[in-house]
Structure 1
Amino acid sequence: MTIETLIADYGLPAICFGAGAEGETVAILAGVVAHRGTLPFWQVTAAVAIGSFVADQIFFACGRYFRESRFVARLHEKPFFARAIAEFDKRPTLFTFGFRFVYGLRTISPVAIGTTQLPASRFVLINAAAAAIWALLFVSLGYVFGQGIEAIFGRLPAHLWLLVGVVGAAVLALLLAVAAHRRRAAASPGTPSR
C-alpha cells in the first residue's frame, strides 16, 4: 500500500491518528505528503498537532485518573518514569512543554505528569502550545526534506518516499539519542571531561 493510497482512503484522520500513535516519523512523512501537494501544508500540520495533543491528553488522563491500573503501574516501574518525575520536579512548566522533544520520554512523560499535582487546565494549555510547535517543526522538516530530495533526484515513487522518510526519522532519532546521552554523561559526577 502506498502513501497516496493511505491518504486517498483515510486522508487527514490517518495522519492525525498516526501522529498520536507514533510521533515523529508520521509527522515527517506528513510533511513529505504536503510537499508533494497531496494535502495542504497547514491542514497536515493541524492534523499532526491535534493527534499529538489528543494522545498526550489521554496519557495524562491515565496518570491522573487510573493510577492503580496495570498500565500505569508498569510504566511507574520503568527508569524513564522516575527520570520524568525528577525532571518535572526541577522545572515543571519547561518539562511539560519540552518532553515531546526528548527522545525516549514522549509516551511516559504525560502519564508521569498526570500523577503529579499539576492542574489539568494548565497541562491542557501547555500541551496545546507544545503540540502546535512540535507539529510545525516536524512537518516542516518533512516538507523541506522532501523538497531537497526532489530537487536532487526528481520526483520519486511513493514507496521510495516512505523509505526516505523512515531513514530520515531514524537518523533524527539517532542524533537526538546521542545528544541526550552526551547531556547525561556531562551531568553525571565523576565523568572525565573530553
Structure 2
Amino acid sequence: MDLPDLIARYGLLALLVGSGVEGETIVLLGGLMVHRELFGFGPAVIAATAGSFIADQVFFALGRRYRDTEFVRRIRDKAAFKRALQTFERYPNSFIFGFRFLYGLRTVSPVAIGTTSVSAWRFLAVNAVAACVWAITFISLGYLFSRSIEAVMGQVGSIEHWAIGGAVVVLLVALAIRFVRRRRAS
C-alpha cells in the first residue's frame, strides 16, 4: 500500500482525532488533502466537526463533573480561565460559539463554561453549530490555500511526510494521555 492509499484509508480518522487534539493545523491539512482528492469535502467537514465537537463536549463535561477537583482547580488558576469566564458572563452564546476561533482559549474555555450554570443542552446546541462552522472554515481555507501550503511545506519535505508526522504526533499524544491516566489511576 502506498502513501496516498494509506492517507485515503485512514486520513479521515486522523482528521477526526487531530481536530479534537490539535485543532486548526490538522484541519488545514485536511483541506489540503481534499484538494489532492484523497477524500471528499463533505466527509472531511464531518470528521473535523465531530472531532472538535466531541473534544469540547468532553472538556465541558470535565468542568461540569469535576469542578471541585484538583484537575479543574489547576486550570481555574490560569489567566486564560479567568478571561474566558469574564467574556462568557458578558456574551454567553457568542462566547460558546466563538471560543474555538480564539487562540489560547480553545481548551480551557469548555472547562470554564462547564463550571458555570449554563445548561448542558444549550452548550451542546451552540457547540454543534460552532464546530460545523469552524470545520467548514478551516477545511475551506486549507483547500483554497493548498498551493501556498504545499509551496511552504515543499521547502521542508513532502506533504505526505507532514501528514504522516501529524498522524504520529496525534497517536503519541493519545498514548501519552492514556499513560498518564493509567498512572494516576494506580
TM-score, normalising length from structure 1?
Answer: 0.75
Letter matched to residue 14 of structure 2: A
* Unmatched 5+ stretches in structure 2: 164-186
| 2:59 corresponds to 1:51 | no
Q: Unaligned regions of 5+ residues in structure 1, if any?
A: 166-194
Query: Which consecutive aligned stretches of 4+ in structure 1 deviate over 6 angstroms post-superposition?
Result: 162-165
How far the C-alpha of 1:157 sits from its partner, in A, is 10
Which AA in structure 2 matches 1:26? I
Letter in 1 for 2:158: L
CA apart distance, 1:164? 8.6
Report what 1:96 is aligned to: 96
Deviates more, 1:138-147 or 1:21-30: 138-147
In structure 2, how many angstroms separate the alpha carbons of the residues matched to 1:97 and 1:79? 20
Contact 1:93 1:126 in 2 (8 A): yes
The answer on whether the counterparts of 1:53 and 1:128 sit within 8 Å (CA) in structure 2 is yes
Structure 1 residues 71-90: aligned runs within 5 Å: 71-90=71-90
Question: Percent identical across equivalent pairs?
Answer: 47
Matched length: 160
Cα distance between partner residues in 2 of 1:27 and 1:107: 16
Deviations, residues 163-184 of structure 1 (Å, cap 9, x unaligned): 899xxxxxxxxxxxxxxxxxxx
Q: Does 1:133 align with 2:126?
A: no
Superposed CA deviations along residues 49-69 of structure 1, whole A, max 9, x for unmatched, are: 100000000000000001123
Q: Please list, as runs of the form range in 1=range in 2, the aligned pairs for 1:13-52 lying within 5 A after superposition.
A: 13-52=13-52
Q: Structure 2: how far apart are the matches of 1:52 and 1:14? A: 12
Q: 1-side partners of 2:35 and 2:70: how far apart?
A: 42
Change (3 A) 1:19 1:93: same
User: Structure 1's 55 and 128: CA in aligned 2 closer, same or farther, altered over 3 A?
Assistant: same
Aligned to 1:117: 117
CA displacement, residues 107-135 of structure 1 (integer Å, 9 cap, x when unaligned): 00000000000000000000000000000
* 8 Å CA contact retained: 2:8, 2:39: no
